[in-house]
Amino acid sequence: IVTGTLRPREAYESINWQVVFMLAGVLALGTAMQKTGIAAFLAEGLTFITRHLGPMIAVSSMYALTAVLTQFMSNNASAALLVPVALNAA
């Protein structure tokens, strides 16, 4: 738009609004998880399960959970959901 190679209407039409609204919803869900304490609860469960196995297993389990979630939703949505959990686990 700035350089004139794309008109504003073309830029607007190229936006995938389903993705935009899905990310907005997931970000709100992540914030709600953090404010209600669900993220802390999940983080405590994760650390309880992996406390005797070491930090590498805890991180690996977060990776595995993220990999499973990305099969059902976008990478960005999975990250937005699990960042509050990971921050509370740290």
Question: What letter does residue 52 receive in the DSSP assignment?
Answer: T
- Whether 48 is in a domain gets the answer yes
Tell me: pLDDT of 77 over 80: no
Q: How far apart are CA 25 and CA 73, in angstroms?
A: 12
What is the residue range of 76's domain?
22-89
Domain count, the chain: 1
Q: Which residue has the tokens 């700035």?
A: 2
- Whether 27 is in a domain gets the answer yes
Rounded to an integer, the average pLDDT of 66-84 is 81
The pLDDT assigned to 11 comes to 84
pLDDT, tens digit (0-9, with 9 covering 90-100), for 32-74: 877 888 878 888 888 888 888 888 888 888 888 888 888 887 7
The pLDDT assigned to 1 comes to 66
- Whether 55 is in a domain gets the answer yes
Q: How far apart are CA 54 and CA 57, in angstroms?
A: 6
